[in-house]
Chains A and B, each alone.
Chain A
Amino acid sequence: MASQASLSPGPAASTPAPLDQEQEATLRAVVTESFGDLFTAYGFTVRLLDLTHPLASRSHDVVGFIGFAGDVRGSLVLSGPKQLFRRTSPLAGEAGELPEPALFDWTAELANQLLGRIKRRFCTLGRDFHASTPTAIAGRELSRRFSPRAGVVDLVFGVGGDLLCLCFEITPPPDGKIFRPGAEPIQVSNEGDTLLF
């Protein structure tokens, strides 16, 4: 069994510096715009709601997760009601029906596609990370606990009459600069681009 000493964080694991207002604002804008673009691409109108919106604390029953690592690391959690994830699936029938395994798969894929969009925007700001593979779980009366901490973006969106909660959590580098002023953009292609060689 590992001793307590070997489990304690070393000097490199010092608490990261808090984000300044500009970094927080950029991070929030990147996450919000990426979410809006994704759901707009699937034909949905998206409204950003206040976290104090009376419906924001409504419980959910399906959650998609994906992590990322690299110079910056963190996770993305997308939660909402099953009927909303069903309606957004390209495989749903006209009445929005979708078998449960397909619903889980699609929820995970949506988390993956959302992180892909966030990553693309990070790259244009000179910051890259590697995504993990996504997953999803279902439950009853799942609810988010909002955490007002540096590097955590909690958002609630109205999407086609339902609510979706998004939590994007990032551990900044030790200097607190997720986005470095004047950083060289990393070249990326756009969503939907088809390149033939």
Chain B
Amino acid sequence: MSAKILIVDDSDTIRQQVGITLAQAGYQVLEAQDGVEGLNTIGSARDIALVICDINMPNMGGIEMLTAVKADAKNANLPVLMLTTEAKAELIQQAKRIGAKGWVVKPFKPDQLAAAVRKIVGH
């Protein structure tokens, strides 16, 4: 059975673009449009293998969502990959300290994103 990946981004275009890339790579895709919806989806869906998450989103941004995911013992090992236009080293280091698995600066290259996901998910 293919691994399930949650994409959290307020842009429909980005969610669809990432979704197409991941579906072509053989993954199942779930979507959420902000951090609040992302946390709800993580709470209700089973067996999510990876979360791909934007930074600047309404309601709850990516850093807040990452912090909440890592603070919950049930999800502490859930890998989170940030996908954003933000590129500042200080912010990247902050996400790394909180527990992010990686950081991709938009616009992304589909083959590189798929390769990064394979490396994190393991298959």
- A residues adjacent to B (C-beta < 8 A): 41-42, 89-91, 101-102, 105-106, 108-109, 112-113, 115-117, 119-120, 123, 128, 131-133, 186-197
Contacts and interface: CB of A to CB of B under 8 A. Distances in A.
Contact of B58 (A113, A128, A133, A187): A133
A189 B92 contact: yes
B57 interface: yes
Contacts of A196: 101-102, 116, 119-120
A115 B87 CA distance: 12
Interface of B: 10-14, 16-17, 56-58, 85-90, 92, 96, 100-109, 112-113, 115-116, 119-120
Q: 8 shortest A-B CB distances, which residue pairs?
A: A116-B85, A187-B89, A196-B102, A188-B87, A105-B12, A189-B87, A109-B11, A195-B103
B88 A194 contact: no
Given A41-B107, A91-B16, A113-B107, A194 B85 contact: no
A91 B105 contact: no
B11 A197 contact: no
A48 B49 CA distance: 46
B105 A186 contact: no
Given A91-B16, A112-B85, A115-B85, A192 B109 contact: yes
A194 B87 contact: no
A132 B12 CA distance: 17
Given A133-B10, A196-B120, A189 B89 contact: yes
Interface SS majority for chain B: mixed
B88 A186 contact: yes
B88 A133 contact: no
A197 B116 CA distance: 11
A177 B23 CA distance: 48
Given A195-B102, A196-B102, A197-B96, 18 more contacts: A42-B107, A102-B12, A102-B16, A105-B12, A112-B56, A113-B85, A115-B85, A116-B85, A116-B86, A116-B106, A117-B85, A119-B86, A120-B87, A133-B57, A186-B89, A191-B105, A193-B103, A197-B102
